[in-house]
Amino acid sequence: MLVTIGGEPYEVDVATVRGRLDGCTPESVQTHWVEVHGVRFPVKQALEAVLGLPRDRFNSLTAQSVFARLGLPTSRAGDVPTKPKTGGRPPALPPPEAVPIEDAVEAFRVVVTFLRGSPLTGGLADLENRLVGCDRAAAGRSRRRSG
């Protein structure tokens, strides 16, 4: 099957996917996965291994789409972790806390700066890669570099 990522064509098939992931240790799955040889891999790790592309060149939904088109089991695009239903109406959410206007303005400034810095998909992929394995303090430092 031919796939295009970042304007570049790549030929990929199930045998290649299985061969390139054979013996690989899967990283921790955060949200989206592909199952190969009965093992679930994060979709970005798997596509990186299969195509040899750095993860910042594509997003997880692109990777998921490639594997789904090949007929491999994947998480669904709309899947998000949820709590089991307990029946009846869901509990009411508490009212949101008031945010000082200065904090809201600063948050908006950070978002605008981020969006002006690079195309959205590339910027999010870069930020996502920088946050992998970060604790709260490291994530805060990464945010300051982004905005």
What confidence tens digit (pLDDT) does each residue in 28-50 have?
A: 988 899 999 889 999 999 999 99
- pTM, two decimal places: 0.53
Distance (Å, rounded) from C-alpha 62 to C-alpha 7? 13
pLDDT score, position 90 = 60
Q: Which pLDDT does position 85 carry in this prediction? A: 46
Across-strand partners of 41?
34
What average pLDDT does the chain have?
A: 81
CA–CA gap between residue 33 and residue 58 (Å, rounded)? 15
User: Contact at 8 Å (CB) between 19 and 26?
Assistant: no
